[in-house]
Every structure is written in structure tokens, then in C-alpha cells.
């Protein structure tokens, strides 16, 4: 039978029956008492002083017991008890917060080898950076050439948001599947222009059911009230039709042709960084440079009105599975194409 230690208590009646001197009254702090069965208790004493006119000050000590007890588990055969300590559970992390820290990530042997090909803090000129990008693209599949620009903007303000499109002269190197939401005579017009999927309310219902077999979704203005119900589905995937992205238009054939040839939509994320694919690693160096300069000029031309100070903070290029290569921003902005 488990027994618990009962600590002595100080009653108020014993204190009120006699005059006590506060200076002579000493309370020693009671330590944590562990019983043979691993339970403990703590009794803090809180002193209150009360002044009486006739007999001077007396001390009224009120024992405020705050007791924390640990559940004990005693073995059936009289074994030693174990202490059960309640550990607060933390909520599971989601999204980017669930990723391991940079210092805890492990890199593949291939990545560690190709990482030695470039100096981490060195700023490269554009031509040398593109050469390194092609060299580091050493996987079995054809990697995408990516550009990442850190801009001096804060997208939480309306006048510092950036969202636009750019026509890459040499294309993206991938097949783009275009779906069109329209009705009436525009239906046949979209089919003849080369759209992969054309529909109206029927296609909207398919998308609500989980159908997402397309890369771009174009809609005519008269379909937008019905497309609004797809915001929660298409928005997070970046597929929601938008006039700024050129995906809400009355000129369906032109929009289809541009996206098929290499029109790319880009936007600044919440940290002010633009992530933009500008070709494939198997493109020639000249084609990659042409596409890259077209992207830089587009971002410069669409500079938000609220952007202050130095607009370009940093620029990097990389293959989809390779290390980033830092660019010299001034040289990048002043670069001129040989045939220009």
C-alpha cells in the first residue's frame, strides 16, 4: 500500500492567539520532498503583514498550498515505482517549417562534387555563369535553367507588388498544355487555335472534381463570374486566370500561341524574390543568355511604382538540381547582346 508524506501546516488560529515579532519569525523554504514512491509536494508560504492600532504590528501568515503531484506507478510485486512526467506536446510543423535546417541537410556526392566548381561568394559575369550552369547540370534528365532575383520591394504593400509575363524568344523547352474556358462562338475559335482542352461549365465541374491535367488555363471575361468559384483550387497552384498574366482575354488565339511559344508568368513572392525559368540546360549558351536578358528587361520594365532606392539587390542562376551561381548585378544590367 503506497503511503504519501503529509507536510506540517501552519494554522491561522495559532498565529492570531499571540503577538509575533516579524524580525524574529523565520520561515525556512521547504524543499521538494521525495517519498519512497517518487511523489513530491511543494508548499510555498506567503506572508501578509497587518497593522493594528492598539497593539502594534502582528504577523498573519497564511499558508497557501500549491501542490504538484506526480502520478506513481507501483509494480505488482513491490518493485521500484516509476515517475510519470507530463511532457507538453508541440504541434506538428507544416510546409517549409517542417523542412530540416540548412545545417542539418545532407547533400548527395554528386552535389558536393559539382559545388566545388564555383566559388560561393564570388560574383560571376553572365557569360561565365551560364557556362557554369550548363556544367553543373549533370543529372540523367534535362534540367531547367532557373533565375532568382532578390528585389528591394515589400509585396505586402499594393504599390510594391510585381506580377507580369515575359515572352522568352527561344522558348521554354517544354510542351505547354493549354486549357480554355469559354462559351458560344469562342468555343470553336479556341479549338482551331490549338487549345488542348476547351470547355465551359462542364470543364469547371471537372476541375472541382480534381481534374488538373493542364499547365495554363485561359478564360474569356464572360466566364470569370463562374470561374470565381475555382479560386481556392486554382489559386494555390498559380493557375487562376488573371488579366495581368494574360490569361483573361478576348483574343484567345493570340494567348494560346504566346503560351505555346514560351510566354512565362512570374511574380514576386512575399520576401520580394522572383523565381523564373528561362530555358533548359541543353539550350546553347547564346539562347540561354537571350532568354535571360529578356527576363531582366521585363522585370525592369514592370518595376513597381512604390519601389524605392536600389531596385536590384542580388541575382543568381542555377540548374534545377545544381548549386546557385551569384551574378554581378551591375554587369548583368549593362550586358548587351552581340547582335543588339
* pLDDT reading at 227 higher than 80: yes
Residue 77: is it exposed, middle or buried by C-beta count within 10 angstroms (0-12/13-18/19+)?
Answer: exposed
How far apart CA 248 and CA 135 sit, in angstroms, is 39
323 contacts 281 by C-beta, under 8 angstroms: no
- Confidence band of 104 (pLDDT split at 50, 70, 90): low
The pLDDT of 6-35, averaged and rounded, is 48
Stretch 91-110: mean pLDDT: 69
Domain positions in the chain are 119-171+264-334, 178-261
> What are the Cα distances from residue 50, in Å, to 20, 44, 54, 92, 129?
12, 20, 12, 51, 80
* Cα dihedral value 136, 140, 142, 147, nearest 10: -30
- What CATH number is given for 178-261 in this structure? 3.40.50.790
Write down the pTM of the prediction.
0.62
Instruction: Report the candidate in 74, 64, 85 with the shortest Cα–Cα distance to residue 35.
Output: 74
Specify the higher pLDDT residue, 86 or 178.
178
pLDDT tens digits for 63-94?
444 444 444 444 444 444 444 555 666 777 77
**Tens digits of per-residue pLDDT, 283-326?**
999 999 999 999 999 999 999 999 989 999 999 999 998 889 99
| CATH class for the region spanning 119-171+264-334 | alpha beta
Task: Indicate the helix (H) or strand (E) that contains 263.
Answer: strand 263-267
Does 119-171+264-334 match 178-261 in CATH topology?
no
Amino acid at each position: 500500500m503506497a503511503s504519501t508524506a503529509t507536510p506540517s501546516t501552519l494554522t491561522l488560529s495559532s498565529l492570531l492567539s499571540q503577538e509575533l515579532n516579524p524580525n524574529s519569525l523565520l520561515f525556512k523554504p521547504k524543499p521538494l520532498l521525495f517519498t519512497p514512491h517518487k511523489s513530491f509536494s511543494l508548499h510555498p508560504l506567503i506572508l501578509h503583514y497587518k497593522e493594528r492600532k492598539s497593539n502594534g504590528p502582528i504577523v498573519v501568515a497564511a499558508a497557501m498550498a500549491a501542490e504538484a503531484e506526480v502520478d506513481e506507478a507501483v509494480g505488482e510485486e513491490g518493485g521500484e515505482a516509476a515517475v510519470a512526467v507530463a511532457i507538453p506536446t508541440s504541434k506538428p510543423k507544416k510546409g517549409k517549417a517542417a523542412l530540416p535546417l540548412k545545417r542539418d541537410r545532407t547533400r548527395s556526392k554528386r552535389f558536393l562534387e559539382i559545388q566545388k566548381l564555383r566559388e560561393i561568394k564570388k560574383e560571376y559575369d553572365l557569360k561565365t555563369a551560364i557556362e557554369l550552369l550548363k556544367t553543373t547540370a549533370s543529372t540523367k534528365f534535362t534540367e531547367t535553367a532557373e533565375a532568382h532575383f532578390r528585389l528591394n520591394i515589400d509585396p505586402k504593400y499594393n504599390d510594391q507588388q510585381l506580377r507580369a509575363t515575359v515572352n522568352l524568344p527561344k522558348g521554354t523547352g517544354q510542351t505547354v498544355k493549354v486549357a480554355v474556358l469559354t462559351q458560344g462562338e469562342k468555343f470553336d475559335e479556341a479549338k482551331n487555335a490549338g487549345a488542348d482542352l476547351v470547355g465551359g461549365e462542364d470543364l469547371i465541374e471537372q476541375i472541382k472534381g480534381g481534374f488538373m491535367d493542364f499547365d495554363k488555363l485561359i478564360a474569356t471575361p464572360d466566364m470569370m463570374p463562374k470561374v470565381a468559384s475555382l479560386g481556392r483550387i486554382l489559386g494555390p497552384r498559380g493557375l487562376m486566370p488573371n488579366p495581368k498574366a494574360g490569361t483573361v482575354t478576348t483574343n484567345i488565339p493570340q494567348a494560346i500561341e504566346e503560351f505555346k511559344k514560351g510566354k512565362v508568368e512570374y511574380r514576386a513572392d512575399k520576401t520580394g524574390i522572383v523565381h523564373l525559368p528561362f530555358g533548359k540546360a541543353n539550350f546553347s549558351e547564346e539562347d540561354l543568355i537571350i532568354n535571360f536578358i529578356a527576363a531582366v528587361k521585363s522585370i525592369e520594365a514592370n518595376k513597381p511604382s512604390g519601389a524605392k532606392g536600389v531596385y536590384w539587390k542580388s541575382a543568381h542562376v542555377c540548374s534545377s538540381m545544381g548549386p546557385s551561381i551569384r551574378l554581378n548585378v551591375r554587369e548583368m544590367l549593362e550586358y548587351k547582346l552581340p547582335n543588339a
